[in-house]
Amino acid sequence: MSCETVAGKFEHLSAPYSDAPLRREIIDAVANLEAIQVADLARLLARAGDPKPLQSSPKGS
């Protein structure tokens, strides 16, 4: 996948559980992983939430 494709997928999947500034911060953190600590990324991920229940129950392999 290209950067643009994966960024679009990330936006689509995470939008129900995060606001646009947080999504931007996560994208930037991943792009600059060499410059941060894992704990910094974890703190951003902890801010996602306020989920709505999913209706379907996917079956994996």
Partner 1 sequence: MRITHAEQLAAFVVRASYDHLSETARHQLKIRVLDSLGCAIGALGAELIRLIRAQIEDFGGAGRCTLIGDGRTAPDLAAFYNCALARYLDFNDSYLAKGETCHPSDNLGTAQAASEYAKGSGRDFLTAVAVAYQVQCRPSDVAPVRDKRFDHTTQGGYAVAAGVSKALGLDETRTADALAI
Binding site for partner 1 (CB under 8 A): 1, 3, 6-7, 9-14, 16-18, 26-27, 30-43, 45-49, 51-54, 57-61
What gap in Å lies between CA 31 and CA 49, rounded to an integer?
A: 22
Q: Shortest distance, CB of residue 36 to partner 1, whole angstroms?
A: 5
What gap in Å lies between CA 45 and CA 58, rounded to an integer?
A: 23
Q: Shortest distance, CB of residue 22 to partner 1, whole angstroms?
A: 9
What gap in Å lies between CA 18 and CA 6, rounded to an integer?
A: 17
Q: Shortest distance, CB of residue 21 to partner 1, whole angstroms?
A: 14
